[in-house]
Amino acid sequence: MEYVLNEDNACIVKEIIQAIHNNSVYLSEIDGETGDGDHGVNMNKGFLMADVRIKEDDSFSEALKKLGKTLVMDIGGSMGPIYGTFFSKLSRTLRTEEKIDAKLFEEALKNAEEGLMNLAGAKPGDKTLVDTIVPAYESFKEAQEASKGFKECLEALKIGAEQGKESTRDMVAKLGRASRLGERSKGHLDAGATSCCIILQIMADGMIKRMVE
Ligand SMILES: [Mg+2]
């Protein structure tokens, strides 16, 4: 049975932070096509603040908790609380566990997805990060229910996230600043859907790298 140890795996969260940092200009550029162009800057600020608080020898769930708390408490706008809740819920499901397997991670993703969706107030098709998280979770769940190994489930998650992100290109924004553009929001990726895809893919890669078989 494949699993990822909770202990000493703060590095996975550190890799997510690094990826947001590396993509901050790109994320702001995408946001600027339909919005105010601050998405990458805001995300980078919050994630770097959390980075200072996360110790190398923290567990995976402890690092997720610190990241979630920092985003909720210290980052303004809508994204801080939304992503903060996502990471906090992930952490809460995993925190008492020594080993994280596909079934447990499916449960953690489900709780995190529900928390995020409640707060975002968006449904699939609204051109938000929900359009990334829902297909990513569904792909993972489908693979998990088909008794695929944890690595394969994470690969499925990555594909679902990518397809979900790409699907926002043809959508008309229903919420937020971009919705003011109406039909003209078509042809652009949603910035939140894009950052969500980066987060999920880097998290999946990080877990695949630390998989115990
Ligand atoms: Mg913005």
Residue among 145, 4, 151, 22 at smallest CA distance from 64: 4
Q: How far is the CA of 194 from the centre of ligand 1 (A)?
A: 13
Residues 9-53: tens digit of each pLDDT: 999 999 999 999 999 999 999 999 998 999 999 999 999 999 999
Q: How far is the CA of 38 from the centre of ligand 1 (A)?
A: 5
* Residue 174 neighbours by CB under 8 Å, 6+ apart: 122, 125, 126, 127
- Confidence (pLDDT) at 184: 86
- Confidence (pLDDT) at 180: 85
Q: How far is the CA of 40 from the centre of ligand 1 (A)?
A: 8
Q: Residue 3: helix, strand or coil by DSSP?
A: strand
Residue among 106, 146, 142, 149 at smallest CA distance from 1: 149
Structural domain for 109, as ranges:
4-209
Note if the pTM is more than 0.95: yes
Average the pLDDT over 66-90 and give the result. 92
Q: How far is the CA of 185 from the centre of ligand 1 (A)?
A: 14
Q: How far is the CA of 37 from the centre of ligand 1 (A)?
A: 5
* Residue 59 neighbours by CB under 8 Å, 6+ apart: 6, 7, 8, 9, 10, 95
Residues 154-195: tens digit of each pLDDT: 999 999 999 999 999 999 998 877 888 888 889 999 999 999
CATH number at residue 165: 1.25.40.340
Count of structural domains within the chain: 1
